Structure 1
């Protein structure tokens, strides 16, 4: 370490000096103890302060270029790649460029960790188009068994209809025949089949679902919290500027309903003009290139997803929606423009109502959103969406929903609107649990048995009473809150009949 790290430096400066010290390994030898000191410093400060764009670029250079850094130290550094801002395209290009075997290439364990990290930070990329730009290079490395899992995952995230060529289909079929046990090759091939059902031969092995789900929810939450905290002042400044200049309201960017170059035997969504045409062609209809266009169409794409559902189609949709929700949330935090996010939430809510299911992308987003929520923006739609989530045991319900919302309730004692809406939400949620007990077919719900449902219902009632006791006679909105109490009384009577 060069004279040690100056204790007078700010945390960000200490991070920069530690990264620069590790970057020296590209030009000269550094000892294991020196590298360990730098990594220890990063371990202390990076999770709280993150890496700036320049520090992240230097860290990636250390990991992708020949250096004197030991493999164990490189793997530790990968775990500390917490970006403060959107990840630039050159980061992705440099990582993809270091793949493979040969002189100067990183150890395969480091390549695996870097590819996994790319999957983790995919929602935080500056532009999603960069994955399309490196698509051909990633495809070349499918033959490398050690990195195949994460290569397939990145290709799954990046694949559009324009990326699918006959030779790629043929190559995937050959690899799938050679590596029958590779679930990830099979999953990627099934995605190709979603685009070209008449070209890809249906000769798959056993396929395990959810292969390409987000691999580390804790990391996603940590980066969201980090970037939200660090950009708070920037956001406040942006809001102040908008107040002076009059902000332009953004509109939600929803993909067009467009089916590109379908096979001759297929029928496109655009050709379906009425329900009769849909019924006649349900087995031949092809989904649009962008499943996100389900938010734009007049109902035909929704009908395909509901009446002819496939796991891959829903996984494609969830991948798109998760990225879109994340992007709009980040943009809304940096300005006073919340219109696009609200529209996306409304459309998500309506689609959940239509399909009678709760999407994984929405569930993950709501968990992050309410942890940073002020209880004001989009309150009406957020409470409605929370009621669409699958019922769960009290421990999970309390951790993910009740505790963060109660924190808002306690910190907004003057906001009777939130208090009323939250009390009504809690009553509605209790009603859902009670309804399960009244149904003969609902002795079990998900992972819950009847006893779990009763426990959760009783806990909800007890917690509701605690919330209500915090409202004092004479408080603003007291009369309105009393109406919530009348409603809850009816729900409790319903609960009493069900046990």
Structure 2
């Protein structure tokens, strides 16, 4: 046998296959270390489809390996992908009695594995095709519990037949009301309650819980590592099949939060939701499908969600509302376990993510939940769920606006005086604004869009304070980019003139803008300039009489227009005119620098280099974030000149570029380039290299550049 120092599972499987063909006494070494190493690897990284087929062959075919080793391998079969039909058929073929069959204890483990891996089957219908095989083996006591569990998972209405009911009843009487048979009878009764009667289903019945939650958790981790579809604990995530898990267990809770889909008292000729397993079947029978008995299962079942979205029903909505309100009443009265709210939140999150809606009833639940939330548990789920809050009045008008009803509770729970919690809140408001912008864009298709007056503007005004706080508590490019995400989302609404008639513009605070202008990130500066350019176009559209978005400025907009013009003038002075911090121009604010500080700064600059001037230090050539791009543009021109004529370039520019240095360069045999051409070229170079913000703002602000661009 090969050495036990092999590192790959494939080599270990080769060792095991070789050992399985030899009796223990004829082997050169014991097989136990190989089995231990194999099971350890299976636990750590799972088993790929090809390896799984080899392992299942190993445990289902009679060989010389001991039962303990084979059992250890079966217990550690963690699929890293989908389980193919050949593997399932191999397990099915190994069931039953006979000299060539595995021991019944090993068969029981294989059936248990099929139950646990049910949601990973590539074709779940393959088990249904073997329904008769499983059913006929129920008389074998050693594997009956696992068979009943598997049959409970795959039973559909078409398999519930009188002869099978009679067979189970007879077997139940022979075994003294085996609880597993009783549990299977109850599954049958869900389909035909009027046929299965009597005391037999009232006895002790198996709950058919997951056989090994730790196995389930581990296989989920392995599946995620392999970047496959995430699977739920009990059933398939197929959006066109009912979740047939017998009760959705949340975090190990003993009671399910929401019932599973079951249609009771149905007729033989009717079609139930449980019988749908493909998108085609759902579409073809949309109008014929009978609603399940407990409609509140819609909260946890994707297929029922699709049915009620495509086929709305007022009575169904009322029934769901009554159930949820009764549940909230229990919570308010303190009659529920504290963990129940978190369990319910997880289900609500899944529902909201699937339907992309947050009904008023669930807003009531969220209000109650946020009042008790610690701000940590399931934070991402909570923020993502609340971000689907429908567009409404944020803060200004009665009745109580959204902020008082919901977002104030969220802030109280989330904020803990740390920058991390403030960033989380900012990202939440960005997500909320993105949802609202989608709703506003959708409203433009209606004849008379109804938008809550000032709602988006009030939200931006509120987040302005948060942005100011973050600028002080967590300065840096990462925070600035998160802030820009928010304002960029708001600016995207401006591209729709019709919405500008309803959206109240609200600009970022000056103490947020100027630190970004003088920061150390070109990405931040570029995105800021792009956002300000979008704002400028929006102001112009509102104030131009012939524009489709023309309207009167609101009070807030009138108060902010001069400040915004100051942003534009200061940026042009810094980046283009070489007059940073100037205040002589109309609307110029000097970037907010105190006037008494400017002479001191100018004196320091001239002491460093007598040829430098304070006003020019933040232009294209000298700016710490733009100078590399500027000189790179010149280097590109020089390389092109050398490539065209190797002897034609006698001098290179050392940088930084000024009008005088370009004149000297041309006289020395360097690139012939005027200063306006240089600046226009740098703007084009920035655009071509993925930094369009600065060029966009300059082209939208400087009149001579506007003409050039046209």
User: 1:424-474: CA deviations, max 9, x gaps?
Assistant: 99x979989xxxxxxxxxxxxxxxxxxxxxxxxxxx97x634x45335889
1:19 aligns with 2:13: yes
Query: Which one is further off, 106-115 or 20-29?
Result: 20-29
Whole-Å separation in 1 of the counterparts to 2:288 and 2:406: 31
TM-score, normalization by structure 1 = 0.56
Equivalent pair of 2:180/2:205 in contact (CA under 8 Å): no
2:418 aligned residue = 469
Whole-Å separation in 2 of the counterparts to 1:227 and 1:386: 36
1:184 aligns with 2:180: yes
Question: Residue 199 of structure 1 is aligned with which of 195, 217, 226?
Answer: 195
Equivalent pair of 1:65/1:106 in contact (CA under 8 Å): yes
Whole-Å separation in 2 of the counterparts to 1:481 and 1:113: 61
Equivalent pair of 2:179/2:205 in contact (CA under 8 Å): no
Distance 1:473 1:115, change over 3 A: closer
Distance 1:175 1:73, change over 3 A: same
Q: Give secondary structure in 1 for the equivalent of 2:99.
A: coil
User: 1:127-155: CA deviations, max 9, x gaps?
Assistant: 11011111111011100111111101111
Q: Give secondary structure in 1 for the equivalent of 2:91.
A: helix
Distance 1:471 1:365, change over 3 A: closer
Cα drift, residue 71 of structure 1: 1.0
2:3 aligned residue = 3
Equivalent pair of 2:168/2:185 in contact (CA under 8 Å): yes
1:405 aligns with 2:405: no
1:28 aligned residue = 22
Whole-Å separation in 2 of the counterparts to 1:131 and 1:364: 32
Superposition pairs of residues 65-84 of structure 1, within 5 angstroms: 65-84=61-80
User: 1:242-265: CA deviations, max 9, x gaps?
Assistant: xxxxxxxxx94357x99999768x
Distance 1:297 1:481, change over 3 A: farther
Question: Residue 132 of structure 2 is aligned with which of 129, 132, 136?
Answer: 136
Q: Give secondary structure in 1 for the equivalent of 2:291.
A: helix
**Unpaired segments ≥5 residues, structure 2:** 231-237, 243-260, 329-339, 389-401, 428-461, 467-710
Whole-Å separation in 2 of the counterparts to 1:364 and 1:474: 26
Whole-Å separation in 1 of the counterparts to 2:176 and 2:136: 19
Whole-Å separation in 1 of the counterparts to 2:150 and 2:117: 11
1:158 aligns with 2:148: no
Cα drift, residue 363 of structure 1: 5.5
Query: Which one is further off, 123-132 or 42-51?
Result: 42-51
Distance 1:474 1:306, change over 3 A: closer
Distance 1:44 1:26, change over 3 A: closer
Cα drift, residue 208 of structure 1: 4.6
Distance 1:420 1:28, change over 3 A: same
1:216 aligns with 2:212: yes
Question: Residue 51 of structure 1 is aligned with which of 39, 47, 53?
Answer: 47
Equivalent pair of 1:187/1:207 in contact (CA under 8 Å): no
Query: Which one is further off, 55-64 or 470-479?
Result: 470-479
1:413 aligned residue = none
1:331 aligned residue = none
**Unpaired segments ≥5 residues, structure 1:** 236-250, 271-286, 308-313, 326-338, 371-375, 410-416, 433-459, 484-499
Question: Residue 62 of structure 1 is aligned with which of 41, 58, 80?
Answer: 58
TM-score, normalization by structure 2 = 0.41
2:291 aligned residue = 301
2:606 aligned residue = none
Whole-Å separation in 1 of the counterparts to 2:318 and 2:377: 26
Whole-Å separation in 2 of the counterparts to 1:35 and 1:379: 55
1:248 aligned residue = none
Ranked by relative contact order (alpha carbons within 8 Å, sequence separation 6 or more), the top structure is 1
Distance 1:191 1:385, change over 3 A: farther
Whole-Å separation in 2 of the counterparts to 1:201 and 1:117: 33
Equivalent pair of 2:45/2:80 in contact (CA under 8 Å): yes
Q: Look at both structures and tell me which one has the larger radius of gyration over its CA atoms.
A: 2
Matched length: 361
Equivalent pair of 2:46/2:222 in contact (CA under 8 Å): yes
1:290 aligns with 2:284: no
1:244 aligned residue = none
Whole-Å separation in 2 of the counterparts to 1:296 and 1:46: 44
1:109 aligns with 2:99: no
Cα drift, residue 124 of structure 1: 0.4
Whole-Å separation in 1 of the counterparts to 2:414 and 2:143: 50
Equivalent pair of 2:127/2:154 in contact (CA under 8 Å): yes
1:119 aligned residue = 115
Equivalent pair of 1:420/1:480 in contact (CA under 8 Å): no
Equivalent pair of 2:19/2:64 in contact (CA under 8 Å): yes
Cα drift, residue 228 of structure 1: 1.5
2:334 aligned residue = none
1:276 aligned residue = none
Question: Residue 167 of structure 2 is aligned with which of 168, 171, 186?
Answer: 171
Structure with more of its chain in helix, by fraction? 1
Q: Give secondary structure in 2 for the equivalent of 1:143.
A: coil
Whole-Å separation in 2 of the counterparts to 1:200 and 1:122: 27
Distance 1:224 1:28, change over 3 A: same
2:523 aligned residue = none
Equivalent pair of 2:194/2:265 in contact (CA under 8 Å): no
Equivalent pair of 1:87/1:124 in contact (CA under 8 Å): yes
Whole-Å separation in 2 of the counterparts to 1:355 and 1:298: 25
Distance 1:102 1:288, change over 3 A: same
1:37 aligns with 2:33: yes
Cα drift, residue 41 of structure 1: 1.5
Whole-Å separation in 1 of the counterparts to 2:424 and 2:135: 64
1:242 aligned residue = none
Distance 1:44 1:197, change over 3 A: closer
Query: Which one is further off, 23-32 or 133-142?
Result: 23-32
Cα drift, residue 4 of structure 1: 3.0
Whole-Å separation in 2 of the counterparts to 1:39 and 1:385: 54
Cα drift, residue 83 of structure 1: 0.7
Whole-Å separation in 1 of the counterparts to 2:98 and 2:75: 24
Aligned-residue CA RMSD in angstroms? 5.6
